[in-house]
Amino acid sequence: MPTPFRHFKDELQDFLAGRLDAALSSEVQHHLETCETCRREYEALYWTKQVAAQRCAAAPAPADLRASILHSLRTEAASSQHQPPKIVPLAPQGAKPWLRPLFAIAAVALALAIVGSVWSFRQPAFPASVAQDFRDYQSQKITLQLETSDVQELEEVVGLAWAAASLFS
């Protein structure tokens, strides 16, 4: 029974690298002879690999490089057995000792500024009763009673209601 026609896109990379078993490699080879789509993809992969190999090839290392590295490592290992390890100071030579507390103070001030800015941009927390009253007003369970004859006061109350509505929507 013949195998159903299929493309071998997933196997092309392994075919190109020679990592397929003989049976699958033969099947892919036969498919490439008959399928132009897969053949074009195979050729693109082939040329990409060739160009990458040419352009990214490393220059050969000098012949005496390995010997030179090993010699340096042995020399350093022999000399470090007789000397105590070097202690590298954290602060550079000539650094002012009074700068360390200033940096600590600056770091604390920066941390406080960040926390303060995050805290100040939070939305104000309304009591749960205010939020519930507003939801009841929106669903028309309660009505808004304005008892004033002062137009300016009425405009302020309406403005506050609009501000509250924008916070809850």
* Mean pLDDT value of segment 149-165: 67
What confidence category does residue 25 fall into, taking pLDDT thresholds of 50, 70 and 90? Answer: very high
* Mean pLDDT value of segment 18-43: 91
Signed CA dihedral, 133, 137, 139, 142: sign only: positive
pLDDT in the model for residue 75:
85
Q: What is the pTM of this model?
A: 0.34
pLDDT in the model for residue 109:
92
pLDDT in the model for residue 1:
41
The C-alpha atoms of residue 124 and residue 126 are separated, in whole angstroms, by: 6
- The burial of 12, by beta-carbon neighbours within 10 Å (0-12 exposed, 13-18 middle, 19 or more buried), is given as buried
The C-alpha atoms of residue 157 and residue 117 are separated, in whole angstroms, by: 30
pLDDT in the model for residue 29:
92
The C-alpha atoms of residue 20 and residue 12 are separated, in whole angstroms, by: 9
Has residue 62 got a pLDDT over 70? yes
The C-alpha atoms of residue 51 and residue 74 are separated, in whole angstroms, by: 40
User: Torsions phi, psi of 147, nearest 5?
Assistant: -115, 85
Mean pLDDT of the chain: 78
The C-alpha atoms of residue 27 and residue 166 are separated, in whole angstroms, by: 67
* Mean pLDDT value of segment 87-91: 65
